Amino acid sequence: MLDVQLGEVLAGGPEGADEALDLVAGFDDALTLGLARVGEDAAAALSALAGALAASPIGDRVSEAADKVATGSIAGEHLAALAGGRAALCGAVHDALLGRLDTALGRPRTPWNPAPGAPRPDRPLGGQAASGDPRDGQEARSGDSPGGQEAGSGDGVPVQVPGHLLDGCRMWLRELAIVGWRGVDHDLAGAADQAIEALLAVPELRGLAVLLDGLAAELRASSPVATMDRLPARRWADLWTRGLLLAQRGPWHGGAEPVSGRLLILGADVHEHATVVRAQVHGVLEPTRGGQARLVRTSVAAAKVDTIVGPAVWRLMGAHPVLLGALAGHRSLEITDMPLLPGGDLVWHDDRAAAGEPADPFTTARVALPGVSAPAVPPLDRHPVRIAEPVLLEGYSVVDGSLDLSPAGGGHALPLGLDRLPRGGPLTPELVAASSACIGLMRWDGRWVLQPLAVQATVKKKPVAAHNGDWAMGPTDPKVVKAEAKAGDVVAVLRERAGRLLRK
């Protein structure tokens, strides 16, 4: 990316984005205080949200929901409609931001057009999430399908989701909305524990499980919330919204097509809370049958506990040695008939992959990245937080935690997301500051930020490279190896305890 391109990205917020986010903030304030007694401000915020969506397919339902909730009638279908309205606004902001980034980068993006056989959650939206219906008919149907509910599995095969599990989740989310974040105490924070435990046993509902588990842990750590000075209103409302949408009929991904070809790795983005860790690998897929190279993501998530942190988390993903080996060893991967979802997610199957030739991610970023086509984003996944677009930056200077891409300095400043460097990798703020080339993800959270995935730097006059995934097969830094050895194998200790105590 060049300084002029960065200038295009940073030049003011996209038109309408601030207004849309103000509407979202109004809703978030209402959720903070609770819907049990909707005051004047909250009622105005709900009706403003509905007003902005009036011309969209869900306009009538959001408007009805805003009216009902303001008068104290808080049915599940009304909450779902409001969540859908809030998601549509966030989706519109996402589209505007991503569109601007794509234009600046000159990166073509496939329009949303799910393959036949997708579990038809969301009809094509013509690129405008604001006009979108989150789940056609979902609100009307929720709660009256006792048997099971159809959802998408990673492989695109519809599966039956036990409806009663989702009922429990919706009840908890409704209770949270009624009392508001300010009314949450230890009892309510922990009230979903059993539901979450049951969700974790259903592979198709893992996304909802990790989301609710993360939210519950934050609420528990913050309880009683009434005593907090400030609270993460946007964040919790985001999680509440997505949780409620997922708890209607389960997840919406599906419509996979099998792909074969060469996968060139760009880098690994690591996600984590107390009970989950996930490595999401960004790469360029060169299909065997030819055609344009495609930007893809592929992920491995493993359940964990809070005391497994740092480099040890990679051991939890040991069942995927081909992927982890390629990540640590900087190799390409040959994949055969791997399911690729319409959103650009390759559903990883380690037994359908083989290690290929050595492939330096920086070479991939220089040679292959400029010509890629980016995938469409599934409508219900459109939210600024999901924007994670790989870019290569070179020849910059680092000043006060920001990158300056202009050759002479004094250009546009792109802040670095140094708080996102994973504990299980070799990247440090110092290395980033000393770097001259960086593969990173463009992210947006109120402003654009670059999250580094890999850097090339000069340390003690020697060129070094460090990648987030370098320790996927174990740390390579002798100091870290020693510290790990001293602490012992925490994963093995807990597995031994689990083996001895759980099956008694």
Partner 1 sequence: MNADETAWERRSVVPVVPPVAPRKLAKVPFVELADGRLQGVVSSGSDIERVYVSSITAGTHALSCSTNNNRPCGALHGHACKHIRMLADEAVVQYGLDRVARYLRVEVPAGDSLMSCIHGQPERTPAAVVFSRFLRHLAYLEVADSTDPLAELHWFPSTAPYKEVAR
User: From CA 50, how far away is CA 141, in angstroms rounded?
Assistant: 21
Q: Which is nearer to partner 1, 171 or 316 (CB)?
A: 316
Interatomic CA distance for residues 261 and 110, integer angstroms: 19
Of 65 and 341, which CB lies nearer to partner 1 in the complex structure?
Answer: 341
Closest to partner 1 by CB, 77 or 218: 218
Q: Which of 293, 294, 292, 266 is nearest to 280 (CA)?
A: 266
Closer residue to partner 1, CB minimum distance, 70 or 490: 490
Shortest Å distance, C-beta 19 to partner 1: 14
265 in Cβ contact with 361 (< 8 Å):
yes
Q: Which residue has the tokens 């964990």?
A: 304
Measured from the CB of residue 366, what is the shortest distance to partner 1 in angstroms? 26
Angstrom CA distances, 228 to 222, 232, 248, 266, stand at 7, 10, 31, 41
| DSSP class per residue in 173-233 | HHHHHHH-GGG--HHHHTTTHHHHHHHHT-GGGHHHHHHHHHHHHHHHHH-SGGG-SS--H
Residue 60 Cβ, how far from partner 1 at the closest point, in Å? 28
* Minimum distance of partner 1 from residue 82's CB (angstroms): 18
Q: Output the six-digit token pair for 117.
A: 């056989």
Closest to partner 1 by CB, 25 or 178: 25
Residue type, 28: D
Between 68 and 120, name the residue whose CB sits nearer to partner 1: 120
Q: Which is nearer to partner 1, 112 or 348 (CB)?
A: 348
CA–CA separation, 24 and 414 (whole Å): 26
Alpha helix locations (H) across 250-348?
321-329
Q: How far is the CB of 243 from partner 1 (least distance, A)?
A: 8
Q: Please report how close the Cβ of residue 72 comes to partner 1 at its closest, in angstroms.
A: 26
**CB 396 to partner 1: min, Å:** 21
